[in-house]
Structure 1
Amino acid sequence: MTEQIFLESYSETRIDPNLQLRLYQGGSTVSEVFVSKFPAVIGRDSDADVELSGLWVGRQHAEIQLKHDALFIRDQGTLVGTSVNSDRVTEYGPLKLGDQIQIGSWTLEVLGLVLTRLDRHIDETFAEQPLVDRGVLQLRSLIDIRKRDWQGVSDQAIRAECRELMGPIARELLGDTPEITYQQFVDRVVAESVGLGPLEQLFNDPEISEVMVNRFDEIFAERAGVCHRVPLRFASDESVRSVIDRIVSPLGKRIDESSPMVDARLQDGSRVNAVIPPLAIKGCSLTIRRFHKKRLLAEDLCNLGSASQAMLSILELAVRHRLNIVVSGGTGSGKTTLLNLLSQWIPAHERIVTIEDAAELQLGHLNLVSLEVRQANAEGQGAVTIRDLLRNSLRMRPDRIVVGECRGGEALDMLQAMNTGHEGSLTTVHANSPRDAIARLEMLVLMAGFDLPLVAIREQISSAVDLIVQQQRCADGRRRLVSISEVTGVESGVVQTQEIFAWRPDQARFCSTGVVPHFFERLSSRGVTEHSSLYSLMVES
């Protein structure tokens, strides 16, 4: 379990702690509180940082202190005392995720703990920002005056030319100021003028998986499954809007008041969602889900504790022998990552057609066609949907069809494709459990606009889908494969499933349910014997 999350390591640093506590009383959740200033007082006093009520709570009962780059809790000499994990303590630390602090009738659970290590330069970002803002304005004015046509010019060439233009601007603005070096100043101004601005600093950290801009001066990052605010900012809301325009324009997309939302991707494949006013009330909002160049392998998931070897062996067998698989999970649970992994097991000689809203899949097959939807133009014409692409893909002689996500009527076309000679196809849906995934598919089929009876829809699902793989983002921030369930048919009008593997949080391990998959019999009837070695593996797990 990760206890401390650091943005980066530097020689000159300070620790910026953030603590999230969930408060229980009498076994019921009362609230959640965030503490970012230390020492923090816990007690009955109205000025306490964490205020608790009750006769058995002192006015200043305990104090959370920052010591040795970690957080400690210290009892303030009260008669009732303070306990941590049911043991009475005078002082306890370092605090870690899951620790439970007992004070009177209250329990305070450590729900989130982030210790961000900041270097002096980044810590002073806000102090230096007016200087950078002026540099950005002057550089943009100079570019506008020169009326340079950047069409077809590479990003490297644009940055090189801007660096040349920045020479006199930097000398004029910096003078003899020691606040920021010439190189740092030029880098930041150029990044904000023609790049991704302060986000480029975050992109240098390979551990950051997601970047969220709520407004120009509110930037958050996710690292190791935990979100925390970073001390970076844009010059203005217009700077955020400029970054959004630079991302979407090369893709032939647009964002304006008539179309204030857009999905796009960066050159490295990272997925981007942008929302601007009037929909985004606080200012332009930008969310970037990082695209990692390193493709995860099965052993990586095992090493990360995201799945067991037995589970991955079952999935590899299922993919190689053309079972239809639906990956289910919530937003950010790792569905696309798992879909990428499953696709790696498709035999190299097979032809694959992938269909996505925004291209994210990283398949290395030679015989591969990747299709991406197209949004409508300014006149509302020319849109090409996933459903359009899915129907067309059936004419492209695919051995496998991989749909990034089913979120509408295309679910019906996907099920029909699975049922009509395109076995081994893969897709994902948003759902919290395998049973919810089936209900979600039923609803999506109804969105296709055909008045189909529910029993017919369920027959389609049961005959098309072989396995449902459930992904989940757990409380500790890790993304895990928490269930593999097999669809076994329809009984009394209800789609039947049986769980083969499951994550047991109380035991902190992946377990086999002891159920032998029905598809083993189908493989045996085809003369396949690979699954025979998995029986013992399933029992041992």
Structure 2
Amino acid sequence: MVAVELVDEVRSHLARGGLAVTPHAVAAALRAAGRPVGDATVLAVHEALRAESVGVGPLEPLLRLPGVTDVLVNGPRDVWVDRGAGLERADPSVGFTDEAAVRRFAQRLAAAGGRRLDDASPTVDVRLPDGVRCHAVLAPVARPGTLVSLRVPHGLGLGLDDLAARGALSPAGLVLVRRLLAARVAFLVTGGTGTGKTTLLGALLAAVDPAERIVVAEDSAELRPEHPHVVALEARPANLEGAGAVPLRALVRQALRMRPDRLVVGEVRGGEVVDLLAALNTGHEGGCGTLHANSVADVPARIEALALAAGLGREAAHSQLAAAVGAVLHLTRAPHRRLAEVGVPVRDGAGLVRMETAVRFDSTGAAHEGPAAEALAERLR
């Protein structure tokens, strides 16, 4: 590991002279500073400086790991990676020289996505040109230092058969989701963070009839289904003057005018739930989206809370949910990312919706029918 002081000294020399980061320029800077100019030192300093200015720098090896979904930076030498089996600490050789290097790294990524990150605007959530989603918070708002979270999009274009081969779908689950698509049942994919909701939704959309037009609205573009007719809309935050915002809710309304056969909301987490439910109740069959929820049973409460915040009353939200959504596919990470349960909305005597289990898949993939099995079968017919 090259000394922090040495890298800072060479960086300052190159900046003053307006020089590019090349091995020759690094060697000249070391000589000017009276430092040793061995080949190993030159190359080490050159790589350290180059890592600060190209791509995701020292994190590049982590993003190339098979199956990686998240890379988290909690400080210069505290880096974590998720390869599908939970978080694990990265190799000690991967990291940054100091807190200032992490800060520069976060600011460069923000700039690459067209956003600003500084003391006046210490947080950013941006999609990088290669599709990686970057969230960063500068110190002292963040502790113990600048925090960077990278969400890596799946580049393999996984289909339903691929997910079945990886254990995310059991044989019975694979048959069931194909029947849901064929019957044009509107559905939600639910689960906690990192359970594979977007991956499953992308695989499902890839299996949609090629003759159908899919219109996707997302807060941050992540869905890239392998389908011949997909168009997508991406929300845009306000600029530094507070103007120019294009919220997801507005995009959902615009998508309805684009002749969708399948309307898709990549992640329902705000007022757009009202527009999605309204659309699914007005002839847009087969629509879908993802929703954060801890269990199938929690889905009505989650949708109720989002709808209430958008001005839709409790009774109306439950009524819309019961009429709009035909099934909920719930994912879990125990013992690995997989489809764990399929639920169906059922209205009680008071008109409120509760979710009942139609099928539950255990950790071995075996399917067990629940009380709503017949209700699901009716929707599939």
- The answer to whether TM tops 0.5 is yes
Partner Cα distance (2:164, 2:75) in 1: 38
Following superposition, the deviation at residue 417 of structure 1 comes to 0.8
Q: Deviations over 1:140-185 (max 9, x none)?
A: 642453288xxxxxxxxxxxx64564453477755347xx475555
Match of 2:181 in 1: 319
Closer/same/farther in 2, CA of residues 316 and 173 from structure 1, 3 Å limit: farther
Q: Distance in 1 between matches of 2:174 and 2:248?
A: 29
Q: Of 172, 175, 181, which residue of structure 2 is paired with 1:310? A: 172
Q: Is the CA contact 1:326–1:465 (under 8 Å) kept in the aligned structure 2? A: yes
Query: Given that residues 170 and 186 in structure 1 are in contact (C-alpha distance below 8 angstroms), is that contact kept between their aligned partners in structure 2?
Result: no
Q: Which residue of the other structure, out of 126, 132, 154, is the alignment partner of 1:264?
A: 126
CA distance in 2, matches of 1:322, 1:288: 34
Going by fraction, where is helix more abundant, 1 or 2? 2
Distance 1:136 1:436 in 2: 52
C-alpha displacement of 1:372: 1.3
CA distance 1:414–1:146, change in 2 (3 Å):
same
SS at match of 2:199: helix
* 136-145 or 271-280, larger mean C-alpha shift: 136-145
Question: Of residues 286, 293, 315 in structure 2, which corresponds to 1:455?
Answer: 315
**Aligned match of 1:510:** 366
Contact 1:320 1:345 survives alignment (8 Å):
no
Q: What is the SS of the residue equivalent to 2:356?
A: strand
SS at match of 2:69: strand
Output one character per residue of 1:202-223: Cα deviation in whole Å (capped at 9) or x when no partner: 2232243321111122212223
Matched, 1:129 2:14: no
- 1:511, distance to aligned residue in structure 2 (A): 1.6
Q: Distance in 1 between matches of 2:162 and 2:30?
A: 46
RMSD, matched Cα: 2.5
The separation in 2 between residues aligned to 1:206 and 1:143, in whole angstroms, is 37
Equivalent in the alignment of 2:352: 494
**Aligned-partner Cα distance in 2 for 1:257–1:185:** 29
Match of 2:88 in 1: 228
How many residue pairs match? The answer is 376
Residue in 2 that maps onto 1:481? 339
Which residue of 469, 485, 490 corresponds with 2:329?
A: 469
* Gap change, CA 1:394 and 1:140, over 3 Å in 2: farther
Q: Distance in 2 between matches of 1:465 and 1:261?
A: 35
Q: Secondary structure at 1:129's aligned position in 2?
A: coil
1:396 aligns with 2:258: yes
Local SS of the residue matching 2:3? helix
What is the alpha-carbon distance in structure 1 between the residues aligned to residue 3 and residue 234 of structure 2?
41
Could you tell me which of 70, 76, 84 is aligned with 1:210?
A: 70
Residues 182, 277 of structure 1: alpha-carbon distance in 2 compared, 3 angstrom cutoff:
closer
Distance change in 2, residues 1:145/1:299 (3 Å): same
1 or 2, which has the higher strand percentage? 1
Which amino acid is the alignment partner of residue 241 of structure 2? Answer: E
**Which of the residues 91, 116, 140 maps onto 1:254?**
116
Q: Which runs of 4+ in 1 moved over 3 A?
A: 161-174, 180-185, 488-492, 514-524
- Separation of aligned partners in 1, 2:9 and 2:213: 51
Q: Name 1:219's counterpart in structure 2.
A: 79
Q: 1:327 to 1:174 in 2, by over 3 A?
A: farther
SS in 1 for 2:241: coil
Q: Distance in 1 between matches of 2:231 and 2:24?
A: 42
SS in 2 for 1:206: coil
Cα offset for 1:195? 3.7
1:136 Cα offset (Å): 5.4
Amino acid across the alignment from 1:510: A
Q: Give the drift of 1:359.
A: 1.0
3-state SS of the aligned residue for 1:404?
A: strand
**Identity of aligned pairs, percent?**
37
Instruction: Compare relative contact order (CA 8 Å, sep 6+) and give the higher one, 1 or 2.
Output: 2
1:142 counterpart = 2:1: no
- Flag the 1:187–1:222 CA change in 2: closer, same or farther, 3 A: same
For 1:290 and 1:480, the matched residues in 2 are separated by: 19
> Is residue 200 of structure 1 aligned with residue 60 of structure 2?
yes
In the alignment, which residue of structure 2 is the partner of 1:375? 237
Change over 3 Å in CA distance of 1:164–1:465 after alignment to 2: farther
TM-score by length of 2: 0.89
Letter of the 1:130 partner, please give it: A
Residue in structure 2 matched with residue 60 of structure 1 by the alignment: none
The residue type paired with residue 2 of structure 2 is Q
Query: Structure 2 vs 1, CA of residues 440 and 187 (structure 1 numbering), >3 Å: closer, same or farther?
Result: same
Q: Once the 2 structures are TM-superposed, how far is the Cα of residue 432 of structure 1 from its aligned partner?
A: 0.9
CA–CA distance in 1 between the matches of 2:377 and 2:35?
Answer: 72
Structure 2: gaps of 5 or more residues: none
Amino acid at match of 2:337: R
Cα gap change, 1:144 to 1:221, in 2 (>3 Å):
farther
Give 3-state SS (helix, strand or coil) of 1:215's partner.
Answer: coil
* Structure ID, larger Rg: 1
